[in-house]
Structure 1
Amino acid sequence: MPKVLIVSDSHGLIEEELQKIKQQHEVDYYIHCGDSELEYSNPTMDRFIKVGGNCDFDSRYPNEEVKKFGDFTFFITHGHLHQVKQNLMTIGYRAEECGAQIICFGHTHIAGVEKRGDQIFINPGSIRLPRNRREKTYVMLELFPQTKQVDVKFYTIDHRIVQDLSCVVSLDNK
């Protein structure tokens, strides 16, 4: 089963946080949903599928990425260009245009997961400046293609599971 690590809104954190998070987990894919505030080529960002946020000024960052991991298609963006602070409708429509079932975004700094129709919206929160919670968070996903389930685990920056945010979500609408 593919495993995916998702972070966002690290706002300049390098060695202490991002490197330790990468070293803590064995995963198949790494995603950074923007506002790293690092140069695109910074070695800390190696192995990350990365997009630019409103605080990223390196023009090499794309606004969005669409990636297929096994049977799951991911739409990855920061969210500021899709007004995610107002609602998830615009980002959901864009992901649908791209054929994506899993939407990864940041910008709000609010950790959460939500299923709407045949889409799963995941915001890993912020590992630097969280909102609505004290914990600085990131996400680990485990994908189960046979059952169309996604195990979403939120972790604190010191690698403890945040139980009340973590869940298993099914893309099977039965």
Structure 2
Amino acid sequence: MKALILSDSHGLVEEVEAIISRHRAEVDLVLHCGDSELPEQHQALQQAIVVRGNCDASPFPDEWSETVLGVALYATHGHKYNVKMTYVTLSYRAEEVGAHIACFGHSHVATAFKENDIIYINPGSIRLPRDRKEGTYCLCERTETETIVTFYTKDGDVVEDMIYSFPL
């Protein structure tokens, strides 16, 4: 399973379209973790699974979960789980839905970590990054032996210090 994950694009259209176009052929799904600030039917989001962020007016769902090629995925924006302060509440929800991978946004801080056998991914923001100068998104690939999360700049360059490998 391979997923393209982005979040917090805050109205960017050309950049979202370019990122999805760049990776669409190599991924099984595209997740946008909220604050796209685009209408629900916007062309840029037609190939993506989108959840609602605190800045979104469109009626996207608050969360999404599904098993894709044997991998239980969960996505939410994170504002309802107070992710700027703690990951505990989000971890409870990820455990409730049986997620292998939990994706979120809201803080604009790109990160990936594993806790209690769940991999948590925040792709950062392609528009307003925090803790980094470059806007980011990521690809997450699950193989038989590991999960690899690779972060990219919005222009498609690998962020060399943000490649994570989590053994299964």
| Within-5 A mapping of 1:55-66 | 55-58=55-58, 60-66=59-65
Code of the aligned partner of 1:118: D
CA offsets per residue over residues 21-41 of structure 1, 9 Å max, x none? 011112110000000000111
Q: Per the alignment, in what secondary structure is the counterpart of residue 44 of structure 1?
A: helix
1:24 to 2:17 alignment? no
What corresponds to 2:68 in structure 1?
69
| Within-5 A mapping of 1:92-131 | 92-131=91-130
What corresponds to 1:45 in structure 2?
45
| Within-5 A mapping of 1:135-150 | 135-144=134-143, 146-147=144-145, 149-150=146-147
| Shift of residue 50, structure 1, vs aligned partner | 0.6
Query: CA RMSD of the aligned region, Å?
Result: 0.8
CA distance in 2, matches of 1:167, 1:47: 26
CA offsets per residue over residues 69-97 of structure 1, 9 Å max, x none? 11211110000000001111100100111
Code of the aligned partner of 1:121: Y
Q: What runs of 5+ residues in structure 1 fail to find an aligned partner?
A: none
| Within-5 A mapping of 1:155-174 | 155-170=152-167, 172=168
Q: Per the alignment, in what secondary structure is the counterpart of residue 131 of structure 1?
A: coil
CA distance in 1, matches of 2:163, 2:68: 21
| Shift of residue 167, structure 1, vs aligned partner | 1.3
CA distance in 2, matches of 1:150, 1:107: 23
Code of the aligned partner of 2:68: F
Structure-2-length-normalised TM-score: 0.96
Q: Which runs of 4+ in 1 moved over 2 A?
A: none
Q: What runs of 5+ residues in structure 2 fail to find an aligned partner?
A: none
| Shift of residue 153, structure 1, vs aligned partner | 0.4
Q: Per the alignment, in what secondary structure is the counterpart of residue 160 of structure 2?
A: coil
CA offsets per residue over residues 99-121 of structure 1, 9 Å max, x none? 11101000000001011121111
What corresponds to 1:151 in structure 2?
148
CA distance in 1, matches of 2:151, 2:162: 6
1:91 to 2:90 alignment? yes
Structure-1-length-normalised TM-score: 0.93
Identity of matched residues, %? 46
CA distance in 2, matches of 1:101, 1:90: 16
| Shift of residue 135, structure 1, vs aligned partner | 1.0
